[in-house]
């Protein structure tokens, strides 16, 4: 398994789902997953999806600038993403950063996400399951308003 290909596929899936149907991200998280969104910590799949679907903007488009990844000794993967977030009706895009820590799914193909966004980057830590699937454990997101 090529770590770069796995990271790229995850990033494409995550952001296309976020942009089209945020509620569809629920299967990427588990009850032990944690999202830190602009400094606010949210735990559990249902709470994370509730936060993402209640954001003050409904339509957006993520434009990814970079995706970097590192495999971990435990078979996981750390992924860092940077990009721009274009909100509907806004002239200027916002820069964001996001970090994901992806782990092996113990029994299903769900993913858990750790997302950290500060200046338009994202980092994932991916871990394969015996079936070859991943989930996101932690997700941190931050916008860069500078």
pLDDT band at 22 (very low <50, low <70, confident <90, very high): very high
The pLDDT value recorded for residue 140 is 78
Cα distances (Å, whole numbers) of residue 42 to 83, 102, 117, 140, 146:
23, 17, 15, 10, 25
Q: 12 CB contacts (<8 Å, ≥6 apart)?
A: none
pTM above 0.85, yes or no: no
- pLDDT over 50 (residue 6): yes
The pLDDT value recorded for residue 35 is 96
Coarse DSSP helix, strand, coil percentages of the chain, rounded to the nearest 5 percent:
25, 40, 35
- pLDDT over 50 (residue 4): yes
Tell me the two tokens of residue 82: 């940077």
Q: Which domains does the chain have, with CATH numbers?
A: 3-144 (3.10.450.50)
pLDDT in tens, 121-142: 444 444 454 445 777 877 878 8
The pLDDT value recorded for residue 144 is 78
The pLDDT value recorded for residue 78 is 86
pLDDT band at 145 (very low <50, low <70, confident <90, very high): confident
The pLDDT value recorded for residue 137 is 79
pLDDT in tens, 42-82: 999 999 999 999 999 989 999 999 999 988 877 678 889 99
pLDDT in tens, 76-131: 788 899 999 999 999 999 999 999 988 877 643 333 333 333 333 444 444 454 44
């Amino acid at each position: 398994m090529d770590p770069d290909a796995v990271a790229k596929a995850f990033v494409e899936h995550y952001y296309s789902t976020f942009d089209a149907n945020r509620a569809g991200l629920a299967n990427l998280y588990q009850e032990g997953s944690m999202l830190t969104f602009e400094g606010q910590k949210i735990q559990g799949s249902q709470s994370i999806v509730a936060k993402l679907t209640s954001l003050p903007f409904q339509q957006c488009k993520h434009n990814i600038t970079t995706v970097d990844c590192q495999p971990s000794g435990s078979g996981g993967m750390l992924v860092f993403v940077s990009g721009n977030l274009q909100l509907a009706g806004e002239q200027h895009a916002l820069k964001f950063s996001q970090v994901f820590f992806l782990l092996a799914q113990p029994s299903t193909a769900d993913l858990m996400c750790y997302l950290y966004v500060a200046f338009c980057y994202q980092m994932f830590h991916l871990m394969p399951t015996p079936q070859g699937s991943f989930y996101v454990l932690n997700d941190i997101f931050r916008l860069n308003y500078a």
